[in-house]
Amino acid sequence: MTIDEQFFFEHAGFFYNPATETVAVGKLNSALTYAAAEAHARAECWYFEWVPDPDADPYDWDGEGPIGTEAYGCILRDASGKALASLWAIWDPGGVYRRIVQAELALEAKG
């Protein structure tokens, strides 16, 4: 397993089909998929733009109090700057979570 695959195995959520695979296999396959999407984005010279999201509502959830203090959006752009995918209202994203969001967006754009 590569360092990138290990990162996603340890930190990212995962998906699996309980009819055809175990949780462990699903977690491994998800890590491989995220790492491949991240590598694809690099190879295509795609980049990620993190911007403040002033429209996000910290009280727009079912829990008590605000969900976070700072909200951001992440936009995946191709080498020419065209937006390929985005996600908004990302509250207080740290480095690990930012990388996971970026891999998810790359996976979505890669198709």
Rounded to whole angstroms, the Cα distance separating 13 from 107 reads 14
Rounded to whole angstroms, the Cα distance separating 103 from 38 reads 5
Which residues contact residue 74 at a Cβ distance below 8 angstroms, ignoring those fewer than 6 apart? Answer: 48, 49, 50, 86, 87, 90, 93, 98, 101, 102, 105
**pLDDT for 43 beyond 90:** yes
**pLDDT for 111 beyond 90:** no
pTM of the model: 0.92
pLDDT of res. 92? 97
DSSP state of 47: E
> To the nearest whole number, what is the mean pLDDT of the chain?
96
